[in-house]
Amino acid sequence: MTPTGTGEAAHEMPKDASAPVMALHAATLKALPFSDTRDFDEAARGFLGTVENARITSAQGRVVWSLEPYGFLSKAEAPPTVDPSLWRQSRLNMHHGLFEVVPGVYQVRGLDIANMTLIEGDSGVVVVDALTSVEGARAAMQLYFRHRGQRPVAAVIFTHTHTDHWGGARGVLDEDALAGGKVPVIAPNLFMEHAVSENIIAGPAMLRRAQYQFGPLLAKGPRGQVDCGLGKSMAVGSVSLVRPTDLIMATGDKRSIDGVGFEFQMAPNSEAPAEMHFFIPRYKLLNLAENCTHNFHNLLPFRGADVRDALAWSKYLGEALQMWGGKAEAMCGQHHWPVWGKERIETMIRQQRDLYKFAHDQTIRLMNHGLTAAEIAETIKLPDSLDGAWHARGYYGHIRHNVKAIYQKYLGWYDANPVNLDPLPPVEGGRKYVEYMGGAEVILGRAAKDFARGEFRFVAQAVGHLVFADPDNQPARALLADTFEQLGYAAESATWRNAYLFGAQELRHGMPKLPPRAGMPRETLAALRTEQLWDVLGVRLNGPRAEGKHIVLNWSFTDTGETFILTLENCALTYVAGAQAATADAGFTLARGTLDEIIASQTTFDQAVGSGVIKFSGNPMRLGELMALMDEFPRMFEIVEPKRVAVS
């Protein structure tokens, strides 16, 4: 194929795969062990029943999850527009319903990106992870009850802090269970701190970037979104948060829940800031949460996060092998499908352990030879023993971007070359590159030739400069979109594919028009410490507009007993806990719950003052003056082209 070069191209539909991409796919089919179908057997093993098309709706009839749009994955042979290895993983992730792991242990898979594990005790069931949405969790429980009979929930376990593992908690626990506090909710130490804070401060940027990682706004199909590696995508239902009642503090901690013994292992700063594994001797079952899944995981997701510790991750897997190797006869995780048999389990753990250790050690080795992150990504290659293991393939994380995460963790963004110390920003740099390269027509002519040769990575770089120099240049947008598309078709990593294809879509059609983001839910606000609320307020402060302002406010919360001094000075918002300023501009006395209601837009500050639930002293208008300095963050902002609205 050839790239489109007309002004009409910006609105064209997805194209065919190019000859260079199809050649890459043919090489993949020869290089990897596609004759090994054991994963397909294990993904189907123990199937008991399902929900048709895994379709789940809200009370209002809104579809929050469905695998029906992925019916095209029924074909065994990959189309030219999808990497064959990714096609295989995408088909494996189509298995959905209730599955028996061993008698007494069951999993609901494919009703969300994550799994729900159900462990039967003497009289009830222990629910491990509550999926993303209340609707999905409720459907999962109903499916389990339909096949295993109605039984009470004896406990809920959250393996770690990511939303797809706790967001549906209120679909598992009803109001009576929550009000009575009779059902223990067990989680790793520091669960609440990380569950509510990891995506709060940088949440607006993360949510926009997540559209590129997961591809939810791409059409489902062979030329669009097929998977995200861990599963299909994120559910879009109601999210709830239930505060744990029991924290696991240390490796070796044990619990007896409904007559079933659990042995725990802590794994902080691995796949999540707070995460844990467990073993159940009764069932000879090992659960390694999200640290030993059927792909190479992310050390730094595209949406953004703290860089994960590959060395610690490897050590936790090694420790799990020492603790439970030879004991476990089945191993399941909170994504993908289980594996069975001591030898199979130990082999998978060893390979996953060595995958993260190899990536860590070889990145650091090459780093200490002076290679930069980009150079390491070009140099490093997995050993054959790992490269040929299906569960080590980079469907979600990828060796080429995970090594860059490791580099960043140790040395940061700067590669020590002064050329890269203070480069021009994209628009200004793009204009100079276009000038230096001889103008738009010259760039497009050369890029078209490189495109035909399959040199897509450089074409993307070169034409990307042109788009940032002149975002209204339709041939440039069209060629960059075509290039992204071919890079997406070539990608084995689902997240890479989604990012490339969504970039192409936005170049052709512009940013999707979405309604404004809903405010933070009241229960999420209640889970934040007051200090975290002030931190959220601080990042919303528009520094330039606050120039010369000085505001001091006292806060006293009647229900928590907390006091704070909130100070705007030097264009920064700071606070002191446990104190009150003698010369504050104003002071406010209220319940912390009232502040949550105001932020959640359930009431206004004026209404709360008028009803008497907020007492004040001094000049309350100073608070209004402070709030007038706060930015509202947009739900959408440009990524593959210049910002249309200046930000200061």
Please report which helix (H) or strand (E) contains residue 106, including its range. Answer: strand 105-109
Q: At what angle do helices 474-490 and 440-452 cross, to 10 degrees?
A: 20
pLDDT in tens, 283-307: 999 999 999 999 999 999 999 999 9
pLDDT of residue 599: 86
pLDDT of residue 30: 97
Q: What's the mean pLDDT in 128-153?
A: 97
Distance CA(77)–CA(46), nearest Å, equals: 26
Note whether 406 and 359 are within 8 A (CB): yes
Q: Answer yes or no: is pLDDT of 143 > 50.
A: yes
Distance CA(501)–CA(454), nearest Å, equals: 17
Residues in a beta bridge with 188: 248
Q: Answer yes or no: is pLDDT of 112 > 80.
A: yes
Q: Rounded to a whole number, what is the distance in angstroms from the first to the last CA of the chain? A: 43
Q: What's the mean pLDDT in 356-378?
A: 97
Domains in the chain and their CATH numbers? Answer: 39-387 (3.60.15.30), 432-490 (1.25.40.880), 529-627 (3.30.1050.10)
Q: Answer yes or no: is pLDDT of 10 > 50.
A: no
Note whether 278 and 262 are within 8 A (CB): yes
Can you give the pTM of this predicted structure? 0.95
2 pLDDT tier (thresholds 50, 70, 90): low
State the CB neighbour count (10 A cutoff) for residue 198: 19
Q: Answer yes or no: is pLDDT of 5 > 50.
A: no
pLDDT of residue 8: 44
Q: Answer yes or no: is pLDDT of 442 > 90.
A: yes
pLDDT in tens, 597-616: 988 888 888 899 999 999 99
Q: What's the mean pLDDT in 582-606?
A: 92
Q: Answer yes or no: is pLDDT of 1 > 80.
A: no
Q: Answer yes or no: is pLDDT of 11 > 60.
A: no
Q: What percent of the chain has pLDDT over 70?
A: 98
pLDDT of residue 252: 98
Helix, strand, coil fractions of the chain, as percent rounded to 5: 40, 15, 40
Distance CA(54)–CA(281), nearest Å, equals: 32
Looking at residue 416, what DSSP letter applies?
A: S
Distance CA(640)–CA(645), nearest Å, equals: 14
646 pLDDT tier (thresholds 50, 70, 90): confident
Average pLDDT value for the chain: 95
Three-state secondary structure string covering 364-423 = HHHHHCCCCHHHHHHHCCCCHHHHCCHHHCCCCCCHHHHHHHHHHHHHCCCCCCHHHCCC
pLDDT in tens, 252-283: 999 999 999 999 999 999 999 999 999 999 99
Least confident of 194-198, 324-328, 508-512, 583-587: 194-198
State the CB neighbour count (10 A cutoff) for residue 27: 11
SS3 330: strand
